[in-house]
């Protein structure tokens, strides 16, 4: 009789153990599937759209991935699960790189456009600038810089310098189209003002960043 009771008890323990393993296996499959489906769904969206709320997408990704890994780690044999997670992770990182590249381009474009009343464009050819409006363009450009000079980082000043040089290239073309002496003199004064603003404030921004880095 005792042997029968021991057999029954052992059978129950084995059944519970198998049941527990099955539950863990099912949970791991479910969480890993949720993770891979999330990555698949995100990677189908155009990068123009995901750049708008990338932080929330990244936060959701990290949460779903962590849940998948935690469930997987409960298994004794998890090689297949790890392969699925690694594959989805690689796919996500490739997509993430494209999104961040796109977002950087958009931020750079918005930054450039903030100095003008027209879109600058990636090529910065300033084709909308002509002999009649170029003096006002310089005035608006440098006035915007002067107004916001304390907020620019060293990298911002480097970008501003590139914009300035591109505008100067356009000026060389406009001069040949009949730029008036009055506007030419006005622009010359603004160029001197820009040089002063750039030299002083870029140095200040660099010094500030160095101090913050040491702290």
Domain-terminating residue out of 72, 103, 134: 103
Count of all residues that appear for the chain in the document:
215
Whether 210 maps to a domain, the answer reads: yes
pLDDT tens-digit map of 3-33: 443 433 333 333 434 444 578 788 888 888 8
Question: What percentage of the chain reaches a pLDDT higher than 70?
Answer: 88
The pLDDT, as a whole number, for residue 28 is 82
Dihedral over alpha carbons 192, 195, 196, 199 (to 10 degrees): -170
Q: Could you give the 3-state DSSP secondary structure of residue 115? A: coil
How does the average pLDDT of the chain come out, rounded?
A: 86
Q: Is the pTM of this model over 0.95?
A: no
Whether the per-residue pLDDT at 201 is higher than 60: the answer is: yes
Note whether 120 and 96 are same-domain residues. no
65, 7: one domain: yes
Per-residue pLDDT of 34-75, as tens digits, reads 989 999 999 999 998 999 899 999 999 999 999 988 888 887
**Does 21 lie in the same domain as 81?**
yes
Tell me how many degrees the CA angle 155-160-162 measures, rounded to the nearest 5. Answer: 100
- Domain range spanning residue 143? 114-214
| Residue 121 falls inside a structural domain | yes
Averaged pLDDT, 143-151: 95
Q: Residue 151 falls within a domain, yes or no?
A: yes
For the chain, give the percent of residues with pLDDT over 90: 64
Domain count, the chain: 2
Residue 109 in any domain: the answer is no
Q: Residue 21 has what pLDDT? A: 59
| 68 shares its domain with 133 | no
164 pLDDT more than 70 = yes
Token pair of 91 as six digits: 């796919």
Nearest Cα to 171, choosing from 138, 208, 206?
138
Q: Indicate whether 71 and 134 sit together in one domain.
A: no
What is the pLDDT at residue 12? 35
- If one counts every other C-beta atom within 10 angstroms of the C-beta of residue 29, the result is 17
Are both 66 and 130 inside the same structural domain? Answer: no
- Residues 93 and 16 both lie in one domain: yes
Q: What is the pLDDT of residues 121-139, one digit of tens each?
A: 888 999 999 999 999 999 9
Q: Residue 108 domain-assigned?
A: no
143 and 79 both lie in a single domain: no
Provide DSSP, 82-142. Answer: HHHHHHHHHHHHHHHHHHHHHHHHHHHHHHHHTTSSS---TT---TT--TTTHHHHHHHHH
- 127 lies in the same domain as 85: no
- Residue ending a domain, among 103, 137, 159, is 103
Q: Is the dihedral of CA 57, 60, 66, 72 positive or negative?
A: negative
pLDDT in tens, 165-174: 999 999 999 9
Which residues, including other chains, have CB under 8 Å from residue 177's CB and lie 6 or more apart? 130, 131
Question: Is 143's pLDDT higher than 90?
Answer: yes
* Domain final residue pick, 84, 103, 122: 103
Indicate if 167 and 127 belong to the same structural domain.
yes
119 and 98 assigned to the same domain? no
What's residue 149's pLDDT?
94
Residues 146 and 199 in one domain: yes
Interval 186-215 mean pLDDT: 88
């Amino acid at each position: 009789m005792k042997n029968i009771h021991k057999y029954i008890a052992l059978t129950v323990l084995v059944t519970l153990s198998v049941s527990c393993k099955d539950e863990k296996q099912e949970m791991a499959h479910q969480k890993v599937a949720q993770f891979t489906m999330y990555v698949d769904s995100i990677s189908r969206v155009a990068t123009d759209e995901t750049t708008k709320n990338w932080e929330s997408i990244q936060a959701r990704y990290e949460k779903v991935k962590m849940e998948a890994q935690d469930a997987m780690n409960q298994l004794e044999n998890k090689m297949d699960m790890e392969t699925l997670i690694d594959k989805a992770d690689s796919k996500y990182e490739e997509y993430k790189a494209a999104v961040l590249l796109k977002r950087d381009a958009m931020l750079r474009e918005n930054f450039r456009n903030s100095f003008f009343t027209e879109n600058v464009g990636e090529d910065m050819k300033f084709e909308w600038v002509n002999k009649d409006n170029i003096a006002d363009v310089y005035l608006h450009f440098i006035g915007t810089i002067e107004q916001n000079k304390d907020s620019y980082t060293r990298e911002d000043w480097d970008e501003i310098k590139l914009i300035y040089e591109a505008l100067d290239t356009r000026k060389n073309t406009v001069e040949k189209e009949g730029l008036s002496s009055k506007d030419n003199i006005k622009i010359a004064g603004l160029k001197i003002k820009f040089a002063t603003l750039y030299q002083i404030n870029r140095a200040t921004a660099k010094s500030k960043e160095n101090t913050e880095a040491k702290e």
